[in-house]
Amino acid sequence: MRNYTTQMDAARKGILTPEIETVAKKEHMSVEKLMQLVAEGKVAICANKNHTCLNPEGVGSMLRTKINVNLGVSRDCKDYDIEMQKVMSAVNLGAEAIMDLSSHGNTQPFRQKLTHECPAMIGTVPVYDSVIHYQRDLATLTAQDFIDVVRLHAEDGVDFVTLHCGITRKTIEQIKKHKRKMNIVSRGGSLVFAWMCMTGEENPFYEHYDEILDICEEYDVTISLGDACRPGCLADATDVCQIEELVRLGELTKRAWDHNVQVMVEGPGHVPLDQVAANMKVQQSICMGAPFYVLGPLVTDIAPGYDHITAAIGGAVAAMSGAAFLCYVTPAEHLALPNVEDTKQGIIASKIAAHAADIAKGIPHARDIDDKMADARRVLDWDAQYACALDPETAKAIRDSRKPEDDHSDTCSMCGKFCAVRSMNKALAGEYIDIL
């Protein structure tokens, strides 16, 4: 029988939950230290009590940087079997979270399949599902309709929900006044904005925030405070609309913590490289150390087809500077719904960024695998190198497709007998070094 509501409530009461114990072991951290961080809101353990197959993870800047994978069907790409292939690929590649952003069809069976079978954290954006669930146009929905969908997702076992609580009626005038290049590029944010414009009412996620907190506390759902005004191009980065919303998200963070509800705060977006670190520091200050969850950030606007690389550059700097959670970006960003291969490329790029940042931050044991790789390369042990690789299959396939000749089969076809490692090993062993 649980005598606590949320992981934060348990930590504040000094109760060691199985989830806190598991995360502490994964992070090489004492349970006492982790419980303190969870109690303070600096670490979120997204773990809905109905997601019983969850392999829990902690999200916080002092822990390993975590990766989220967005997927889900759309009206133009409706195959849920392909989405499950993406889920399996994501879990196998080490993604810690899956967000179902489906915007077509009967979404509940797929969402329930995820929370019954997938060990990764599961997130959703209930405002997307509201139109689909009720099969009614946006303007006909009521505030209560939106709140009821939040409850439905909580009951289904979703671990975190993105809610665009930070934009209000005031934001409508701000957007019109400041004339951003890209206006609002957040899909959920644009829906809330459109609903307010059409109905003349206040943002239901802001106006009825206390009722939402009650739902999240009941099921231990973490709120991911969505940044509706995140910049969608470099020109809009760190502008008045973005920062004003962030200030409101800081206020909403404190209100959630007062209800023992865990919070993550979502961030940009498109940001010039020289502004990334500053964005992280501003968020940490305004939101009191709540975990920061960033999309990229993308450091240039001109790389469609390669935005996984653009985002990895920004993501590495962001995580090194305090971001806790990276939302992957695929080569299909800005172009199409990602396919299975796009998903893989996005995950690998994000994992590289996260790992590089963890090494830079000095996360315990983060560099161990790199040291193992160096040991394997020194002795030209190719199988050991594959075992250390983020994507062993691709590494092996590349080398096997262009194998060296038999008399230097321990090298690769780049250098052959000119291989520096081979020459040094022979020289240090006192052996003759043949080059021709």
**266 among annotated binding-site residues:** yes
> In this structure, are 231 and 285 located in the same domain?
yes
Confidence band (pLDDT; 50, 70, 90) for 2?
confident
Is residue 84 annotated as involved in ligand binding?
Answer: no
Q: What is the pLDDT of residue 419?
A: 97
Six-digit token pair at 163?
A: 């809610």
Per-residue pLDDT at 1 exceeds 80: no
The region of weakest confidence among 39-48, 54-63, 160-169, 172-181 is: 172-181
Higher pLDDT, 103 or 253: 253
267 found inside a domain: yes
Q: State both tokens at 98.
A: 């899956």
Residues 191 and 306 in one domain: yes
Residue 10 — very low, low, confident or very high, per pLDDT cuts 50/70/90? very high
Same domain, 305 and 426: no
Q: Residues 6 or more apart from 380 whose CB is under 8 A from it?
A: 410, 411, 419, 421, 422, 425
Residue 92 annotated as binding site: no
Q: Write the DSSP symbol of residue 63.
A: S
The rounded Cα 347 to chain-centroid distance in angstroms is: 10
Q: Is there a binding annotation on residue 419?
A: yes
Cα 144 to its chain centre, rounded Å, is 29
Residue 355 known to bind ligand: no
**Which stretches of 174-254 are assigned E, i.e. beta strand?**
222-225
Q: Is 4 annotated as a binding residue?
A: no
Q: What is the pLDDT of residues 372-426, one digit of tens each?
A: 999 999 999 999 999 999 999 999 999 999 999 999 999 999 999 999 999 999 9
Alpha carbon distance 101, 15 (integer Å): 34
- Binned at pLDDT 50, 70 and 90, residue 77 comes out as confident
Average pLDDT, the chain: 96
In a domain, 168, yes or no: yes
Q: Is residue 374 part of a domain?
A: no
Residues 313 and 413 in one domain: no
Angle at 321 between CA 316 and CA 325, to 5 degrees: 60
pLDDT surpassing 90 at residue 104: no
Question: What's the rounded Cα separation, in Å, for the pair 215 and 114?
Answer: 20
Based on the fold, state whether residues 71 and 125 are members of the same structural domain: yes
Residue 78 has pLDDT above 90, yes or no: no
15: DSSP letter:
-
Say if residue 164 carries a ligand binding annotation.
yes
Answer whether residue 62 is part of any domain.
Answer: yes
Please indicate if the annotation marks 233 as binding a ligand.
Answer: no
Structural domain count, the chain? 2
| pLDDT tens digits along 79-98 | 888 998 999 999 999 999 99
Residues 130, 256, single domain; the answer is: yes
Do residue 262 and residue 165 come from a single domain?
Answer: yes
Within-domain flag for 103:
yes
At 311, list the tokens.
Answer: 């985002």
Q: Are residues 423 and 275 in the same domain?
A: no
The answer to whether 178 is a known ligand-binding residue is: no
The response to whether 408 counts as a known ligand-binding position is no
| Mean pLDDT to the nearest integer, 120-142 | 95
Q: How many CB atoms lie within 10 A of CB 396?
A: 15
Q: Does residue 269 share a domain with residue 130?
A: yes
Q: What percent of the chain lies above the pLDDT cut of 90?
A: 93
Tell me: is residue 224 an annotated ligand-binding position.
no
Model pLDDT, residue 80: 87
Q: Which two tokens stand for residue 335?
A: 């172009």
By the 8 A CB rule, do 36 and 11 touch?
yes
Chain-centroid distance, C-alpha 358: 15
Q: Is 70 annotated as a binding residue?
A: yes
Q: Give Cβ neighbours of residue 82 (< 8 Å, ≥ 6 apart).
A: 339, 340
Q: Which two tokens stand for residue 419?
A: 């291989």
Question: Does the residue 418 lie in any domain?
Answer: yes
Do 146 and 253 fall within a single domain? yes
CATH of the domain at 135: 3.20.20.540
Instruction: Give me the pLDDT at residue 105, please.
Output: 85
186 is in an annotated binding site: yes
Q: Does residue 191 carry a pLDDT above 90?
A: yes
Residue 218: per-residue pLDDT: 98
Is 183 labeled as ligand-binding? no
Inform me whether the pLDDT recorded for 233 exceeds 80.
yes
Shared-domain flag, residues 189 and 102: yes
Give the model's pLDDT for residue 343.
95
In a domain, residue 199? The reply is: yes
Count Cβ neighbours within 10 Å for each residue of 319-341 and write b for 16 or more, e otherwise: bbbbbbbbbbbbbbbeeebbbee
- On whether 208 is known to bind a ligand per the annotation, the reply is no
Is 134 a known ligand-binding residue? no
The answer as to whether 30 is a domain residue is no
Question: Which amino acid does the sequence have at 11?
Answer: A
Rounded CA-CA distance 379/410 in Å is: 9
Contact 323, 292 (CB under 8 A): yes
User: For residues 45 and 262, is the Cβ–Cβ distance under 8 A?
Assistant: yes
The two three-digit tokens of residue 220, written as one number: 């231990």
Q: Which of 118, 110, 66, 61 is nearest to 89 (CA)?
A: 118
Say which range, 10-24, 102-116, 141-155, has the weakest mean pLDDT.
Answer: 102-116
282 plus 430 within the same structural domain: no
Domain with 412, as residue range(s), is: 402-435
